[in-house]
A and B are shown apart, each in its own frame.
Chain A
Amino acid sequence: MSTATATLCECGSGLRAARCCALDPASVPPAESTRHLVPLVERAIQAHRSGDTAAAERLCLDVLELAPDRPGALTVLYEIRKAAGNFRAAEALVRRIVRFDPNNFWATNELTLLLLGKGDLAEGEIHARNAVRIAPENPQAHNLMGMIMTEAQRPAVGEYHYRRVLVLAGNRDPILLANLAWCLKTQGRMEESRALYQESVAAAPEIRQTLLGWARMEEADRKFDAAMEVLARLEQVAPEDPNIALTRAIVLGRMGRYDEAVALLDGLAARFEGGRLGPNEMLEKGRLLDRMGRHDEAFAAFLDGKAMARELSGNVYLDAQASQMVARLRGFFTAERLRILPRATPRRDVPQPVFILGFPRSGTTLVEQTLTAHPRVAAGDELPLIHDITGIMPRMLASPMAYPEALAELWMGDRRDGLDDLRDYYLQKVRQMGVLQEGADFFTDKMPLNETHLGLIAMLFPEAPLIHVIRHPLDIMVSAISNHFTHGMYCATALETAATHYVRVMDLVSHYRSQMALRYLPIRYEDMVADQEGSVRAMLDFVGLDFDPRCLSFHENTRYARTASYAQVTERLYDRSMFRHRHYLRHLEPVIPILRPLIERLGYSVDPD
């Protein structure tokens, strides 16, 4: 390996690290001193336009070696890397354009779309907001906000921005209508969504994403035949689109036609490179095989799907970060400190939050559907607000430290009401998100792993009921390995890291509970199945609600739950998911030592029957 190659940046841009990801901004020469490079940049643009990618690339690398902030060269190199599918390098390059030129709308738009594509909604939101700041009357800026907010589970905010696009653009762009339709679907407004899809498809009948979204909407609304019809239309437009087979398989799976669904996916595999399905298809196949009792094959598919997802996304568990965060929270939230920290004053003039806590896939959706079947409880779904508050806290409290240490500001005379401000931030966002509903005195927030911030939540809302959904840890592991989710610092990208993170968070919960008085109720998923009424009554008593029999038939709750559990919670309570891990004990062996102490503490056992 030559020295030059050895120092190339890991991102794959082709630049040296010192001129790329390890760039020291102080080393960037002033623009005037590199003006002589402008003709080279123009030649690069020209070459790129005329299709001479090699020449364009060489010119860009030469320019950027001397002037790493030249936006033209960065842009051309970005286009080249993006076209070649090198998204890591593309992201690094477009990020640099935004850094050196924060008002560049085009680059901001590109970066936001990249981040959206890889599921980094938190950072995507920052840039989408910047796009609106840069160009408040640009429809695309609002479109970005619409997409990000819809995906970040704030569809009411997303809807606002999509509707701004309609006004600003002055037309009814079919793609926009489809985006808005998807946004309404996530809010459970299926009729409105359907009407928009119909309008969009009438205007532009051959847009794949639109047809696919529509099919998904029909599937979520349990209109399986309609979903199949839309998929048939899509097949005419794009017979090779692999999403057709995947979505058909999902619909067939929901109809209980597992054999056909698996056959479809197997047929699809032949069309993929190397005969392998993609990560989503692989997990879907695993879930179907699980339903069919073919457990060895199912688990193999789960592991394959996870491995592929890691490969494609580059996401792995942020182990060191998670360990450090947990240690800091444990260190800060101690009984001695909590005794002298203030609490926010409960607001009596607004509906009260009910926090539904738990690891992803532990049954939080089931509990939310149950509670929100009560007329006095509105559904908030997964509200990202507690996480947001941990981010904005230093600014709100004017603290030089991060959360949780920033809470030390509450001892200052001019910051002692700081928690009231943070509480109001949360409540205001809840209102903006359209969570509150007429006649409801409570609303739910079921963001998984909010229990990581149990101490903060109890300080912000000392009266709020905290319902923690407990489930056999090995069942949670089976669910975690058979579904994709990014919560918990990407812990679910592998079985062992899911177990590690779960133990970390549960230990942290134990710590909070031993250090402070919490309005905390553990609810076992298994009890919900075995003694549904007893569990429902316990929860309603705990929240302070009268019993309502509608909570027992939560599957008739018309609300659409947008998380991966939606297909399950629209079925009657079933025990198929209870102790499902017993089929996989052999496969779960690597995580049993990690989980065993917790399994015992929770009163479960590792036992084949």
Chain B
Amino acid sequence: MESAVPGTAPADIPVAVPLGEVFAIANEFERTGRVEEAARLVRHAMESAPDQPDVLHLAGILAFRRKQPQEALALMERALVLAPDAALYLRNICELYRTMGRLDDALAAGQRALALAPRDPMALHNLAILHYERLEPAEALACADRALAIEPDLPGAHFERAEVLLLQGAMAEGWEEYEWRYRIAGAPQLMPPTDKPHWDGASLKGATLLLIADQGFGDVIQFARYIPWVLERAPNIAIAGSVEVAPLLRQIAPGVQIFQNWAECPPYAAFCPLSGLPRLHGTRVETIPAPVPYLRAEPARVERWRARLDQLAPPGVRRIAITWAGRPTHNNDRNRSAALADFMPLAALPNTALVSLQKGDAAAQAGAFFGRAPLLNLGAEITDFADTMAILDCVDLLVSVDTSVVHLAGAMGRPAWVLLPRAPDWRWLLDRTDTPWYPSLRLFRQDTSRRYRPLIAQAAAEARAWFAKYHCEP
């Protein structure tokens, strides 16, 4: 979301400091992330000019940045009443409506913004994101293409194209566009500045290749499958990876140096993030390598967790592991995370215990779940991925939203049913109920209601049949 374009500041009004000046400073503060100071100035400006639309609009942006969407909406809607044809306001309120899940309002605002400013690449960019979320990939692609026709180096539009293309399975072009991900404003830096080249996939014998376990835990687990392919071309590798994923990477690349501090980084000839490997590998939908299982639970841990589970649910009770929320900082968390209460239909299965693997703040919901099946909150006792893997070995099925636990189950070849939002992450492709990335996974996709409860009801009904077919009936 962007604030006012230069030159659109309101006319000066005689106050102690001219309003235009206050507004300009507030705008600058907002641009440079000094949100609280900007908000203070805007409050001051609003006292002098309560009906100045630019001020109201900026106040709306600041409220949005301060995670007060309702207040942001009220301010922006007021600005739009005063200035109904302000394309900038419409472009921004489009994004605000989208984040609030009001997708039709977002579309109407976005389309009006575009009609008023047909050559605004950001309006097109916002619309591309919106169409993706509405699961309208063709429209999303068209908007991204139009934005790039106006501004060819707009990183966000390239990345949006990548997401749509990959979602559609057009991987050749998709992976190329995916490389724009580090150039998006505000994207985290992959590594400290370096003069070494990005690896091109060619043989690199005798020198060290640095791999970076980038992005979320799920991405690391998904793309770690390429490490053996890398080792065939570059036998000497070192990996920059967080303490959480290091034990997983060690399973795939035993004996390889894995470090957490850049100070420990050995000399290297080239680098590559794990998420860049599919492009170098030339992966297409039909050539996705899926050498499962490529992660395995430690036998001693499995024994320990099996004993713990036997304490909590008598043998013979079917165990379904669940997770209902991902990392709250994920930019699509609002859509991909469910509430534990949505899992009520699974709790209605007879002779079943739900095993929660949920970590983080969302785990507190376990305290307020009153389904008919017992909920075993193992999340409170899990310390690392090795625990999670061991538990996955002890349960009959995992039913989960799109989190790293799903990737773990997939990499282990354990049965898991993945609950996907209406517009899923690109890696789950379109329409299909399976995934070439992980043969043991089955995908459940939200319908247009965008709700998890009916999806989980469907999963529960199928679980009943699935257990009857593959396991003994309780």
Contact = CB atoms under 8 A, between A and B. Distances in A.
B381 interface: yes
B308 interface: yes
Interface in A483-518: 509-518
A507 to B, nearest CB: 9
Nearest to A467: B374
A326 interface: no
Interface string B363-386: 111111111111111101101000
A339 B381 contact: yes
| A interface majority secondary structure | helix
Contacts of A463: 311-312
B313 interface: yes
Contact of B374 (A339, A520, A527): A520
A34 B431 CA distance: 98
A129 interface: no
Interface in B311-345: 311-317
Contact of A517 (B308, B350, B371, B474): B308
B380 A517 contact: yes
B367 A510 contact: yes
A595 to B, nearest CB: 15
A470 interface: yes
B374 A519 contact: yes
Contacts of A312: none
A542 B380 contact: no
A609 B372 CA distance: 24
Contact of B372 (A518, A519, A527): A527
> Which of A346, A512, A513, A543 gathers the greatest number of chain B CB atoms within 10 Å?
A513
A88 B380 CA distance: 49
B351 interface: yes
Contact of A335 (B313, B350, B380): B380
A522 interface: yes
A473 to B, nearest CB: 12
B374 A517 contact: no
Contacts of A470: 370
Size bin of chain A's contact surface: 20 to 34
Interface in A291-341: 335, 338-339
B378 A517 contact: yes
A537 interface: yes
A511 B365 CA distance: 10
A517 B381 contact: yes
Given A339-B383, A346-B311, A542-B314, A519 B376 contact: yes
A517 B312 contact: yes
Interface in A19-63: none
A117 interface: no
A522 B369 CA distance: 9
A575 to B, nearest CB: 19
Interface in B356-407: 363-378, 380-381, 383
A509 B376 contact: no
Contacts of A511: 367
A263 B376 CA distance: 53
A157 B308 CA distance: 36
Contacts of A168: none
Nearest to B380: A335
B351 A518 contact: no
B317 A517 contact: no
A515 to B, nearest CB: 5
A514 B364 contact: yes
Nearest to A510: B367
26 contacts: A339-B381, A346-B311, A470-B370, A509-B367, A510-B364, A510-B368, A513-B368, A513-B369, A514-B363, A514-B366, A514-B367, A515-B380, A516-B377, A516-B381, A517-B308, A517-B312, A517-B377, A519-B311, A519-B374, A520-B375, A522-B370, A534-B372, A542-B374, A544-B315, A602-B370, A603-B370
Given A519-B312, A601-B368, 7 more contacts: A335-B380, A470-B370, A517-B312, A517-B377, A519-B374, A541-B351, A543-B314
Interface of B: 308, 311-317, 350-351, 363-378, 380-381, 383, 474
